[in-house]
Structure 1
Amino acid sequence: MSTEILKQVIVDTEAGFIEFARNNYQQHRNPVISVVSSGCLICVIWKDTLFVANVGDSRVILGSHKGKFKRLHIDQVVRDHNCQNWDIQNEIIESHPNDHRRLVEVNGKWRVRGLSEISRCIGNAYMKNKEPFTDASNFEAPLGHRVSLDFEEPFLSAEPEVYSRVLKDTEKFIIFGSGGFWKKITIKEAAYIVNTRPRNGIAKRLVMLAQAVAALERRKRYNDILQAPKSSHVSGRRVVADDGSRTDFHDDMTVIVVYLDKMPNGGVRPQIRSYRGHSNTVRSSDFRNLDDM
């Protein structure tokens, strides 16, 4: 295992998806695939070494106990590529110095061309490749995903941030979370909960807390989220949102917590407590797993 292997995995994933989107667009089977995107976070623990590759706004948080009093220390292992971060904004400005619309603020959030909150992702082919996704005279992106055709350089990238480190005895847990989760819960809040609460069901606890925050922001009750229609749906070339749907409260959330317990022989044995709040489809999540539990 190496960081180069993880880089290549994401390169191959992006190439495969772009080809899939191109075939669907050219053959008029499902042209909306050209505006579908996702973050991609890959983590491997190999021979006591943590390897991470990230593209998008997911985060990896490493919790450690340090010092005489074993105080909690928190590290964000790799950057998230959210346009609210100053360093990401500077990258976009430097890559498109002559485009005054490279960053547009929409509802208090900075977005690439007013469309994407993240600068790197898998997919969103129409913002990376003019041909064939925007040169065609009949191109019509779904409402909320439209971009003018006057760009020469790709607006988005699939280049991952990669990282590796040897795990130490002082490092106690890792939290992996998708962007939808970190929009509602801070790094410190998540780390404190994992450090102080029982392990059983910890990832579900984090997701439920994030949903409670989402409800509070909308001045709703937690049960209002659970009773809301579960997702938007895709109709033709347009993304149609149900009134008061779950996606109006929060984005899809995936959380995995790994505890780093020492084995007698000195190796690292991850104890995984994972909870998935999405379904493996090209459509929006219907969050069925949470209701089942």
Structure 2
Amino acid sequence: MNIKILSWFKPSDHHEYLHIDLGQHQYGNFSMATVKGNAIVEDQSQIESGPIGLKEEGPFGTFVEVYDGHAGPDASIFTREKLFGILQGHIINKGRMSTEVLIDSIAELENQYLGLVRENLPGMLLQETSCVVGMVSGGQIYIANVGDSRAVMGTVVRTKSQVKAAFERKGIQAVPLTINHSMKLNSGVQDFNTRQLKYVHTDDYLRAKAYIRTSRTIGAAFLKMKEFNNCSGLSDTLRFKDNIRFPILSHVPWTKAEVLNADNKFVIFGSHGFWDLVDEQRVVEIVYNSSQKGIARVLIKHALKKVALDQGLTYRKLEKLEAGSSLSFYDDISVVVLFLDHHKINSNRVSPECPRVAVRTYGASRFLPTADGASTSGSKSTKEAGGSIWQHVRGIGSSFRS
């Protein structure tokens, strides 16, 4: 199986809004896109497809991740570089894919990251990342999420006509596959309070609650271990003098495993910068009623039109904003749409026409799709601009083991 990425690689010359319009994974097609909102890109995303162990004959799977960094890009980049290789090791050790594999893999990732923080004090004490992971393998989808990046499945619903029972009307329904751990929602606040119940009236609790954005995260070392909270390089405003219980935040993911059926058509993975701007049901309907090619760009454009409307701008004016001026308007936005071909899923055998896929994002610059959905071109080459957002690698997981 050869890797086939370059034929799907269609960056704009500005490297600020980049995408793969349509690629092929083990069980169907996919579409990916990212747009920069922050001065330094903190979003990362990744897709790997093919053998998920060490043997070419299988087992096979498609692995999708979206990471949303906070307080810097290091945690999201580390997760992008390490998690898939860790997960492969646990699949090999256990002999199969499971939600337990996801939980154990994220625990190992967290330990490795905190070890890296310890070696680089005090520079990485605050950095953290949300993470949503999906694995399609063996006719099931396995989901794990930590934080506020999310996944939503588009599922066909069938209702019998009241006139003729033989006729059916078909629609599409948004089915959330994750729990949102945002502290803006009751789900996140209750999750946080459950672990810190005895401290809810202390000053330290209130300061911690004011700082954190999600009740679960990878990283944020100063909220995970007392040794990091006592670090001399940490601001006094972030030190906790009360006998507050560590970890203040959890890294343990919410997980779900679901058997796929023919009515499950696609899954949309997105960073919170995307989901905070859109309605789940509406974007599922957009995907269902649109061409697969370029659909991730279409969804980002839909989200950015909401930004423009809220700010009293036209889409064209939002597009023309100087780099960095959009920071107060929107966050980094990453979207992966994974389409599900159930003939391929049910066969669970390698498709001869499907290449092994290994693609992941690198830092983008701020740029928007044009009003017609196409990428705007500029004068600089990829090399001159410092490299592209997408990198293809030589083999599944080959650059992740170290």
TM-score under structure 1 normalisation?
Answer: 0.77
8 Å contact from structure 1 (residues 92, 102) kept in 2 = no
Q: How does 1:50-89 map to 2 (within 5 A)?
A: 50-67=141-158, 68-89=168-189
* CA apart distance, 1:32: 3.2
**Structure-2 change in CA distance of 1:265 and 1:128 (3 Å):** closer
* CA apart distance, 1:173: 1.2
* CA apart distance, 1:152: 3.3
Q: 2:264 aligns with which of 153, 171, 175?
A: 171
Q: 1:215 aligns with which of 299, 308, 311?
A: 308
Distance 1:179 1:205 in 2: 17
Distance 1:253 1:200 in 2: 19
8 Å contact from structure 2 (residues 274, 300) kept in 1 = yes
**Structure-2 change in CA distance of 1:292 and 1:155 (3 Å):** farther
Distance 1:13 1:264 in 2: 31
Q: 2:294 aligns with which of 201, 218, 222?
A: 201
* CA apart distance, 1:169: 0.9
Within the alignment, does 1:48 sit opposite 2:139 as a pair? yes
Within the alignment, does 1:286 sit opposite 2:365 as a pair? yes
8 Å contact from structure 1 (residues 177, 256) kept in 2 = yes
Within the alignment, does 1:134 sit opposite 2:225 as a pair? no
Q: How does 1:252-263 map to 2 (within 5 A)?
A: 252-263=332-343
* CA apart distance, 1:130: 2.4
2:45 corresponds to which residue?
A: none
**Structure-2 change in CA distance of 1:217 and 1:2 (3 Å):** same
2:88 corresponds to which residue?
A: none
* CA apart distance, 1:57: 0.6
> Secondary structure of the residue that 1:136 maps to in structure 2?
coil
1:234 corresponds to which residue?
A: none
1:188 corresponds to which residue?
A: 281
Distance 2:181 2:204 in 1: 15
Unaligned runs of 5+ in 2: 1-96, 159-167, 370-374, 378-402
2:125 corresponds to which residue?
A: 34
CA-atom RMSD in angstroms: 2.8
Distance 1:20 1:187 in 2: 36
Within the alignment, does 1:99 sit opposite 2:200 as a pair? yes
* CA apart distance, 1:205: 0.8
**Structure-2 change in CA distance of 1:15 and 1:190 (3 Å):** same
8 Å contact from structure 1 (residues 83, 112) kept in 2 = no
**Structure-2 change in CA distance of 1:94 and 1:264 (3 Å):** closer
* CA apart distance, 1:52: 0.9
1:14 corresponds to which residue?
A: 110
1:121 corresponds to which residue?
A: 217
Distance 2:334 2:295 in 1: 13
Q: Answer 1 or 2: higher relative contact order, Cα 8 Å, separation at least 6.
A: 2
Larger radius of gyration: 2
Distance 1:123 1:183 in 2: 22
Identity of aligned residues (%): 25
Q: What letter corresponds to residue 245 of structure 2 in structure 1? A: E
> Secondary structure of the residue that 2:338 maps to in structure 1?
strand
TM-score under structure 2 normalisation?
Answer: 0.57
Q: How does 1:240-251 map to 2 (within 5 A)?
A: 244=325, 246-251=326-331
> Secondary structure of the residue that 1:33 maps to in structure 2?
coil
> Secondary structure of the residue that 2:262 maps to in structure 1?
coil
Q: What letter corresponds to residue 107 of structure 2 in structure 1? A: V
8 Å contact from structure 2 (residues 196, 245) kept in 1 = no
**Structure-2 change in CA distance of 1:24 and 1:264 (3 Å):** closer
Q: Deviations over 1:213-258 (max 9, x none)?
A: 1222222333444344545xxxxxxxxxxxx3x3221111111111
* CA apart distance, 1:139: 2.2
1:161 corresponds to which residue?
A: 254
> Secondary structure of the residue that 1:41 maps to in structure 2?
strand
8 Å contact from structure 1 (residues 113, 147) kept in 2 = no
8 Å contact from structure 1 (residues 58, 80) kept in 2 = yes
1:108 corresponds to which residue?
A: none
State the aligned residue count.
255
**Structure-2 change in CA distance of 1:127 and 1:292 (3 Å):** farther
Unaligned runs of 5+ in 1: 26-30, 105-110, 232-243
8 Å contact from structure 1 (residues 279, 287) kept in 2 = no
Distance 1:136 1:170 in 2: 52
